[in-house]
């Protein structure tokens, strides 16, 4: 699962790196055709399916338990909020010191939109786009709404909570379609992309119910998922079908297998998988921080005069590669300590070791 999270984060990185490479190509007067291969923004759809799976699968000790809602939300806040607030604050500080960074928004944001960004509340900016101050946070506006809905169902059994979640997400999507002019938050949250959380939750329920697939079936699912993404349009009319369902096939291939025996955990394949899992652990830091690295490397190549010498494709590879150590270091030195600190503040009476076991990985 962590390896799949690494893939999803890298897809988003490649998407944005292609945009930066295209800017380099324009400045150098050369040709560059981005977006070859997979629809790279679909990494977000893989993330959403994974999130739906992980939240249901890892919440097993919480269903129907007293205080489950508060404990779950404390874990989620500790996991997502500190690094996002830190990155948003950094972006705001850079934008105020270098206004060109905020030129696409018509100038510095007002107080209302700044607060909305920190509180995960969808709000339209000056050009009408419903994006937070730090644009990548649009996915977290969906995530936090998903967590809130899921928390409401924690008083039920696992199966009841999944049924509640699927029904609630479906009603939100339906409400957004039936109300003639829905308010901005409802219009945002009612996008069918939220049903990708439901797909992941359904996969978690299948796994808990004992559904397991043999290797050939899982390979077939993974191949079908990759083929579906590779043949999907770059800008699909219905994202849930074009990108969401292939993403669900990839996640199903990852989670519906049997546990690996100890004998199969050695050798080069295990080392490669271990490296991918470490990157998966750092995928949230990679997702949030990669635009800073891409932009810095792009500007470094331009100002050093290396951009025309390297060309867009080597520059693209260099930008992507340099995001990885930054993400790994940020995960170890910033994200993990912040998460532990906030978790202790939100659950001061709970032993740290038990809290760590109960915490679930996520974006």
Question: In this predicted model, what pLDDT tens digit does every residue of 45-102 receive, in sequence order?
Answer: 999 999 999 999 989 889 988 889 999 999 999 999 999 999 999 999 988 887 766 6
Can you tell me whether residue 34 is helix, strand or coil?
coil
Beta-ladder partners of 124: 130
Burial of 276 (0-12, 13-18, 19+ CB in 10 A): middle
Specify the DSSP class assigned to residue 124. B
The proportion of the chain whose per-residue pLDDT surpasses 90, expressed as a percent, equals 69
* Per-residue pLDDT at 2: 86
Instruction: Tell me which residue of 14, 67, 33, 81 sits closest to 335, measured CA to CA.
Output: 81
CB 53 within 8 A of CB 249: no
* Per-residue pLDDT at 273: 81
The proportion of the chain whose per-residue pLDDT surpasses 70, expressed as a percent, equals 90
Q: What band does 348 get if pLDDT is binned at 50, 70 and 90?
A: low
* Greater model confidence, 148 or 105: 148
Residue whose pair of structure tokens reads 């107080």 in the numeric block: 111
Task: Name, in order, each residue with C-beta under 8 angstroms of 220's C-beta and a sequence gap of 6 or more.
Answer: none
Distance CA 301, CA 276 (A): 28
Q: Looking at the predicted structure, is the pLDDT value of residue 314 above 50?
A: yes
Residue whose pair of structure tokens reads 């939750």 in the numeric block: 201
* Per-residue pLDDT at 85: 97
Specify the DSSP class assigned to residue 350. S
* Structural tokens at position 237: 């009319």
* Structural tokens at position 318: 């260099």
Q: What band does 24 get if pLDDT is binned at 50, 70 and 90?
A: confident
User: Domain segments of the chain: what residues?
Assistant: 2-259+282-358
Q: Looking at the predicted structure, is the pLDDT value of residue 353 above 90?
A: no
The dihedral built from the CA positions of residue 64, 67, 72 and 73, taken in this order, carries a sign that is positive
Distance CA 38, CA 202 (A): 25
Distance CA 215, CA 175 (A): 41
- Per residue in 282-300, pLDDT (tens digit) is 999 999 999 999 999 999 9
Distance CA 331, CA 317 (A): 22
* Per-residue pLDDT at 351: 43
Task: Name, in order, each residue with C-beta under 8 angstroms of 98's C-beta and a sequence gap of 6 or more.
Answer: none
* Structural tokens at position 143: 């995530």
- Per residue in 35-57, pLDDT (tens digit) is 667 899 999 999 999 999 999 99
- Tell me how far apart the terminal alpha carbons of the chain are, to the nearest angstrom: 13
* Per-residue pLDDT at 363: 46
Instruction: Tell me which residue of 184, 191, 288, 319 sits closest to 243, measured CA to CA.
Output: 191
Give the mean pLDDT of 228-252: 95
Instruction: Tell me which residue of 73, 39, 19 sits closest to 347, measured CA to CA.
Output: 73
Q: Looking at the predicted structure, is the pLDDT value of residue 263 above 60?
A: no
Distance CA 216, CA 237 (A): 32
Mean pLDDT estimate for the chain: 89
Distance CA 162, CA 197 (A): 10
Residue whose pair of structure tokens reads 């049903």 in the numeric block: 195
* Greater model confidence, 323 or 64: 323
CA distances from 241 to 111, 186, 244, 303 (A): 38, 21, 6, 43
Q: Please, what is the angle between helix 195-208 and helix 245-255, to 10°?
A: 20
Beta-ladder partners of 130: 124
Give start and end residues of each alpha helix (H) in the chain. Answer: 2-28, 43-58, 68-97, 111-118, 138-152, 158-178, 184-189, 195-208, 215-230, 239, 245-255, 267-281, 283-304, 307-310, 312-330, 336-346, 352-358
Task: Name, in order, each residue with C-beta under 8 angstroms of 338's C-beta and a sequence gap of 6 or more.
Answer: 82, 83, 86
CB 183 within 8 A of CB 171: no
**Measured at the alpha carbon of residue 123, what is the angle toward residues 120 and 125, in degrees to the nearest 5?**
125
């Amino acid at each position: 699962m962590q390896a799949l999270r690494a893939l999803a984060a890298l897809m988003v990185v490649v998407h944005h790196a292609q945009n930066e490479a295209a800017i380099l190509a324009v400045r150098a007067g050369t040709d560059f055709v981005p977006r070859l291969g997979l629809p790279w923004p679909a990494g977000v759809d893989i993330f959403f399916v994974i999130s739906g799976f992980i939240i249901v699968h890892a919440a097993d000790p919480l269903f129907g338990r007293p205080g489950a809602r508060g404990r779950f939300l404390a874990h989620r806040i500790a996991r997502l909020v500190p690094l996002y607030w830190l990155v948003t604050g950094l972006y705001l500080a850079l934008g105020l010191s270098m206004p060109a960074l905020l030129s696409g928004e018509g100038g510095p944001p007002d107080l209302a939109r700044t607060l909305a960004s920190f509180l995960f509340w969808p709000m339209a900016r000056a050009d009408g786009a419903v994006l937070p101050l730090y644009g990548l946070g649009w996915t977290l506006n969906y995530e936090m709404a998903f967590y809130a809905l899921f928390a409401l169902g924690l008083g039920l059994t696992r199966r009841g909570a999944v049924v509640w979640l699927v029904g609630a997400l479906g009603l939100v999507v339906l409400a957004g379609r039936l109300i003639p002019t829905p308010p901005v938050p409802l219009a945002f949250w009612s996008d069918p992309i939220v049903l990708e959380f439901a797909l992941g939750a359904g996969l978690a329920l299948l796994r808990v119910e004992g559904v397991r697939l043999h290797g050939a079936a899982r390979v077939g699912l993974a191949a079908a998922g990759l083929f579906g993404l590779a043949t999907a349009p770059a800008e699909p009319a219905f994202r849930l079908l074009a990108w969401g369902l292939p993403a669900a096939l990839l996640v199903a291939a990852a989670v519906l297998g049997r546990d690996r025996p100890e004998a199969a955990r050695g050798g080069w394949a295990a080392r490669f998988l271990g490296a991918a899992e470490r990157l998966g652990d750092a995928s949230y830091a990679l997702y949030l921080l990669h635009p800073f690295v891409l932009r810095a490397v792009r500007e470094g190549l331009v100002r050093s005069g290396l951009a025309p010498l390297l060309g867009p494709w080597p520059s693209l590879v260099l930008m992507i590669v340099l995001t990885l150590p930054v993400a790994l270091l940020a995960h170890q030195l910033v994200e993990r300590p912040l998460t532990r600190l906030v978790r202790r503040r939100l659950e001061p009476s709970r032993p740290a070791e038990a809290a760590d076991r109960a915490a679930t990985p996520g974006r």
